[in-house]
Copies of this chain bind each other. A is one copy, B any other.
Amino acid sequence: MPNYEPDLSTTFSALGDPTRRGVLARLGQGAATVSELSQPYDMALPSFMQHLKVLEKSGLVHSHKAGRSRIYELQPERIREAEQWLQQQRQLWEQRLDRLDDYLLQMKEERE
């Protein structure tokens, strides 16, 4: 199996849920507790906490206990990795199209 990249898999899978993307967007504004993060969502707390666990397992966020609260913060490295993979794919695609354009242009010139 070529391109075996387990980190990217858990990162992209974690990103594939609107609740989890919402949490990441919120954490972009700064660290927050479980209750602060869950407040906008109409969802039982254990269900919401499951999403937080998925985010933490993927490495997209990090948490620590402070008194009876748990504080989550963004961990931007995994976001950068995912972004770079996408950027690379897009760039390879665009370079190929450029080479195709060059080729077609050359064909055209040779016919003239």
Contacts and interface: CB of A to CB of B under 8 A. Distances in A.
Interface in A29-52: 29-30, 40-42
Interface in A2-20: 2-6, 8-19
Per assembly, the copies of the chain total 2
> Helix, strand, loop or mixed for chain A's interface?
helix
B82 A86 contact: yes
Interface residues of A, number: 43
A83 B87 contact: yes
A25 interface: yes
Interface of A: 1-6, 8-19, 21-22, 24-25, 28-30, 40-42, 74, 76, 79-80, 82-83, 85-87, 89-90, 92-94, 96
A10 B9 CA distance: 14
Contact of A89 (B18, B24, B40): B24
A5 B19 contact: no
Given A76-B90, A90-B83, A19 B1 contact: yes
Given A83-B87, A90-B76, A93-B76, A12 B1 contact: no
